[in-house]
Copies of this chain bind each other. A is one copy, B any other.
Amino acid sequence: MELWFTEKQTEHYGITFNIKETLVVEQTDFQHLAIVDTVEFGRMLLLDGMVMTTVRDEFVYHEMVAHPALFTHPNPEHVLVVGGGDGGVIREVMKHPKVKKAVLVDIDGKVIEYSKKFLPEIAGELDNTRVEVIVGDGYMHIHEHKQAYDVIMVDSTEPVGPAVELFTKGFYQGISEALKEDGIFVAQTDNPWFKADLIRSVHRDVKEIFPITRVYGANIPTYPSGLWTFTMGSKKYDPLAVDESAIAELNTKYYSPRLHKAAFALPKLVEELLQD
């Protein structure tokens, strides 16, 4: 008997996976959590029925949240990750020797617990001595830590459930205040094919708060449309002014110094929605 799991990525289309085994299915205090083992993509974390990450393609998302900002800031010593309880972004942050301390604040301790247990290749660096893991509210954390961070990364779910407040202008204002005077912020901002309004609205809000606002993209096979966007707000450093030849070649599978600026060259359909 073949088992298939289908995520409706919009109401009318979806992605479907042949499943070997279901490892966890649980309603946490915040969301529905599942970890399944797929034939094609390996183990997969689902929150509220949406694919968050798979062992096969997780590196794209995690590298592309972490490295463009960390290679734009000349001295990213203190880093905050809001959300990201699976630990993938933290793993990439730990590849930067300049980072003295990274704090992860995820509201759902179950995501952290099950990721450590079932996704060790993703979550392994959560135990790094340079990492502090806090189970708590990211919104509250940033309001309690003024001018504390060089780089803040928002690795959230969609703006439904616990992540709703992470897509508000008040949150971006709080992030700006939690950053030092030359800080950089980056957030995942969904796909331009079916969530154009979300990207437009985040871009507009971030632009009102940060002097430098940039959007870049990456290919993620298991996310809707396969094209994902990230929005960066920066107080001082422009990711497009970076000298690519000076970027260190890390042990990555997607990001490279050659891709640093090219990732900001967007398809015309994305350029146009940012001009609205």
Contact = CB atoms under 8 A, between A and B. Distances in A.
Interface residues of A, number: 42
A117 interface: no
A226 B253 CA distance: 17
Nearest to A249: B268
A99 interface: no
A47 to B, nearest CB: 19
A220 B39 CA distance: 23
Interface stretch (A28-36, A157-165, A182-190, A257-265): A257-265
| Copies per assembly | 2
Contacts of A258: 265-266, 271
A267 interface: yes
A60 B267 CA distance: 9
A201 interface: no
A57 to B, nearest CB: 7
A27 interface: no
A226 B225 CA distance: 6
B271 A40 contact: no
Task: Please give me the 3 A-B residue pairs with the lowest Cβ-Cβ distance, nearest first.
Answer: A226-B226, A262-B265, A12-B39
